Every structure is written in structure tokens, then in C-alpha cells.
Amino acid sequence: YLIDNVDRTLQQSIEIEEKLSIDLIENLSDIKEDIQQQLQHLKNVPNRLENPNIYHLDADAVYPNIILTNRLQPSTIADSTL
């Protein structure tokens, strides 16, 4: 589906997202052909060999530090009856 709509996708990316005129792109046909070739290759050989980087962010360790740093902990309530 994407390979059939490269023109429309490029137009949206250039004109709407980047707010440029598509006429300013001098080598648009070369870019389009390159994208189509890469998409066709991905379609023909869908197995990826890259090893992705997976990051785990320990948010539980971050929140107490933010609370203490910004002094957001609840204030102690002094009660004279104690």
C-alpha cells in the first residue's frame, strides 16, 4: 500500500509536515525511485538482521527523587495532643 502511494506520501511529508513547496525539491524523482526500491526490497526480503537497542527506564526509582528534590513530600502535621 505504501509503495503504491509514494507520491502522495512524499507530498504530504514535504508540504504539510515540512511546510515547503514540493517544487523546491530538485531531485524528487531520484528520491522517489530510491524510496520505491527500498520498499520493494523490504517487501521481497522482510527478514530484518539489525539488532535493536532496547532501553528500560526505571520510573519507580525516578519519582521519589523528583519528590524529594522538589520538596513535594507531604508536610508533617504537628498535633499538640500527642
Q: How far apart are CA 76 and CA 9, in angstroms?
A: 58
DSSP H/E element including 70: none
At 72 the three-state DSSP class reads coil
- Sequence-ordered strand ranges (E) for 1-82: none
Radius of gyration of the chain, Cα coordinates, nearest whole angstrom = 27
| pTM of the entire predicted model | 0.56
Quote the mean pLDDT of the chain.
82
Q: For cell 520493494, name the residue.
A: 40
What share of the chain in percent tops pLDDT 70?
Answer: 70
User: Residue 54 above 60 pLDDT?
Assistant: yes
Q: For cell 527523587, name the residue.
A: 65
* Position 48 confidence tier, pLDDT thresholds 50, 70, 90: confident
Domain ranges of the chain: 3-44
